[in-house]
Amino acid sequence: MTQTPAGDAAAPSPATPPAASQGQAGWRIGVLYSRSGVTATTESQHFFGTVLAVEEINALGGVLGRPLEPVVYDPRSDSEEYRRLAARLLLDDEVGVIFGGCTSHCRKAMLPVVERSNSLLWYASVYEGFEYSPNVIYTGAAPNQGSMQLAAYLIQHCGSRIFLVGADYIYPRETNRIMRETVEQRGGEILDETYLRLGCDQAEIADVVDDIRRIQPDVVFSTLIGSDAERFYRCYHEAGLSAERIPIASLTLTEAEVAQIGPALCAGHITAATYFNSVDTPANAPFLERWRARFGARPASVYSEASYSQMHLFARALQRVGGMDTRRLVQAVHQVAFDAPGGRLAVLSENNHCVLTPRIGICRDDGAFDVVWQSPEAVRPDPYLTALGLDALWLG
């Protein structure tokens, strides 16, 4: 295993895999998740989920008797580093499959390199949709698997006067566009829409909080990410704004970010996700038991669950193919499934996105989420929003 220094020196790395049987080399895979920089908290969750899955697979003998051998780098939350390190993995390290990326601008930085080399990228983060590549497996939620359900919930339960704040890159802007169109379709109103650069000054966050206090919306929809989002929630609380009066809704606030911010500061705020660690599924309890045995009190989140599950899905596809040919691997991915902690995971052949179960949770003062709504069945991904309008998703 190759690894650059991690952002969290105390964080575990994948255990050294057992020697491959009969002298065979292991299966080399690339792992690109930031352990430092603005998205370190979120991407470390991706990393930990990957670690747990790799260790489980190797403990069971690997794939076809050969261990998974991760080659790991820290892109430091920087899109140019993502592009450079993806090229290093694919060209210098001769790795053909990468698990990595969290933000959309980092995914898009890697995509040309991945496509030119006809390699395969596994992407486990919620994103804005409107993308397809034959070289990407998208295991995070598409807009019709969270964004639209959240809009419906907010209008029904919080009010129709909504304030939008986000980071200044493609995911927040596209997600807010979808939120605006959905809210206005139902007669709601977007009171303001503002964007902050990644790693913004605290004074800029305070200005936004002052605007919210002045405008008094029914709810705030935040697409801020990473440490910027953590500072926003703290500033919001310190300004005397409360979830009881004006809740913050998000697609990205998870148990891991709550632990960093402080659960008392996040209680009552709302998140839409395809997994919370409080969900009641057959696979979740044993997953959490193994997670806690490995990582202690560190909470699992949708980011760790998606990364964990996609690695097991990859191993099943690799078992079928017995090689790293991209075309054959993708075909095999469409033929396998995995009973993930969030529900059964399967990838559709028409768009390389996953069937997932949308959920909406409200944060408790202990840092866990009460699931207040869950789709009665798994939702097929529609990344281009071609099939479903809001009426079809209206929550009962």
DSSP string for residues in 221-238: EEE--HHHHHHHHHHHHH
Predicted pLDDT of residue 2: 44
The closest of 303, 373, 325, 285 to 126, measured between CA atoms, is: 303
Under the banding of pLDDT at 50, 70 and 90, the label for residue 271 is very high
| Cα distance between residue 356 and residue 275, in whole Å | 9
Question: What burial class does residue 88 get, using C-beta atoms within 10 Å of its C-beta: 0-12 exposed, 13-18 middle, 19+ buried?
Answer: middle
Residue with tokens 């991915």: 333
Give the pLDDT confidence of 335-348 residue by residue, as tens digits.
999 999 999 999 99
Statement: residue 124 has pLDDT above 90: yes
**What is the per-residue pLDDT across 212-245, written as a single tens digit (0 to 9) for each?**
999 999 999 999 999 999 999 999 999 999 999 9
Q: Which residues of 40-73 are buried (b: 16+ CB within 10 A; e: fewer)?
A: bbbbbbbbbbbbbbbbbbbeeebbbebbbbbbbb
Residue bearing tokens 């990957």: 50
Q: Which two tokens stand for residue 319?
A: 């078992």
Dump pLDDT digits (tens) for 23-52.
Answer: 578 999 999 999 999 999 999 999 999 999
pLDDT at residue 388 in the model: 53
| 20: DSSP letter | P
H helix or E strand, kind and range, residue 273 = strand 270-273
Q: What is the rounded CA–CA span in Å between residue 106 and residue 76?
A: 11
With a pLDDT cut of 70, the percent of the chain lying above it is 92
Reduced to 3 states (helix: H, G, I; strand: E, B; else coil), residue 283 is coil
The DSSP bridge partners found for residue 28 are: 69
CA terminus-to-terminus distance, the chain: 49
40 CB contacts (<8 Å, ≥6 apart)? 7, 8, 34, 77, 226, 227
Helix (H) / strand (E) containing 167: strand 161-167
pLDDT of residue 8: 38
How high is the pLDDT of residue 10?
40
Show me where the domains of the chain are located.
Answer: 27-141+280-355, 144-279+358-374
CA within 13 Å, CB half, 42: 23
- Residues 174-190: pLDDT tens digits? 999 999 999 998 889 99
Structure-block tokens of residue 249: 């809704």
- 303-321 burial by CB neighbour count: b if 16+ within 10 A, else e? bbbbbbbbbbbbbbbbeeb
Task: Quote the tokens at residue 349.
Answer: 């052949």
The reply to whether 144-279+358-374 shares the fold of 27-141+280-355 is yes
pLDDT at 1: 43
CATH of domain 144-279+358-374: 3.40.50.2300
Q: What is residue 145's predicted lDDT score, i.e. its pLDDT?
A: 97
User: Other C-beta atoms within 10 Å of 218: how many?
Assistant: 19
Confidence label for 19 from pLDDT (cuts 50, 70 and 90): very low
**pLDDT value at position 14?**
56
CATH number of 27-141+280-355: 3.40.50.2300
Residue 238: CB partners within 8 Å, gap ≥ 6?
A: none
**Mean pLDDT for the chain?**
93
Res 390: pLDDT: 47
- The predicted pLDDT at position 24 comes to 72
Task: Give the Cα separation of 125 and 293 in Å (integer).
Answer: 25
Q: What is the pTM of this model?
A: 0.93
Higher pLDDT, 394 or 377: 377
Q: Is-contact 321 120, C-beta < 8 A? A: no
Beta strands 97-100 and 120-123, pairing class: parallel
Residue with tokens 């002045």: 214
